[in-house]
């Protein structure tokens, strides 16, 4: 059996520095894209629609996710038609799979989720990014390039 909703939300919010209150909110696809960015560091995060409100924007996010799966030869069908409906059961099952995959593949180290959403460079091999610092993000809310 997979992890509970509560455990998944705590993990998701800790990893991505977000405030998701329901697993269904991941149905926009943005969180899934960023989870895989935390593993590989090569998701075009700037193209992810984090404020997506419409289904076509969700579909855009899933196209990005599917491209990452293809690039990294991840043999998993993404049930886009079901996930974009933002229903609990579909997103819970997919997020449980994503969490298991993350547990097996995350390289370790810190992931600057906020910095990546604001256009920062990815960490290299699980090390802290040299282009942004948590202090500058926390104090100003902006990431300045070094």
Question: What are the structure tokens assigned to 1, written together?
Answer: 């059996």
Domains of the chain: 5-106 (1.10.418.10), 109-146 (no CATH)
11-65, pLDDT tens digit by residue? 999 999 999 999 999 999 999 999 999 999 999 999 999 999 999 999 999 999 9
The SS3 call for residue 144 is coil
Question: Please, which residues have CB within 8 angstroms of residue 69's CB and are 6 or more apart in sequence?
Answer: 76, 78
Q: Can you tell me the distance from the alpha carbon of 26 to that of 22, in angstroms, rounded to the nearest whole number?
A: 8
Give the predicted TM-score (pTM) of the model: 0.82
Spell out the residues 6+ positions from residue 73 whose beta carbon is closer than 8 angstroms to its own: none
Phi, psi of 34 (to 5 degrees): -75, -30
Q: What tokens does 3 get?
A: 């992890």
């Amino acid at each position: 059996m997979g992890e509970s909703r509560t455990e998944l939300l705590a993990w998701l919010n800790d990893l991505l520095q977000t405030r998701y209150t329901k697993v269904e909110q991941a149905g926009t696809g943005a969180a899934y894209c960023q989870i895989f960015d935390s593993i590989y560091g090569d998701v075009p995060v700037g193209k992810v629609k984090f404020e997506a409100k419409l289904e076509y924007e969700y579909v855009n996010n899933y196209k990005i996710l599917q491209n990452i799966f293809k690039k990294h030869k991840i043999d998993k069908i993404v049930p886009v038609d079901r996930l974009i409906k933002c229903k609990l059961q579909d997103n819970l099952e997919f997020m449980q799979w994503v969490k298991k995959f993350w547990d097996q593949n995350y390289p370790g180290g810190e992931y600057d989720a906020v910095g990546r959403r604001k256009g920062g460079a990815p960490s290299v091999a699980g090390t802290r990014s040299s282009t942004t610092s948590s202090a500058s993000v926390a104090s100003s809310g902006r990431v300045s390039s070094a």
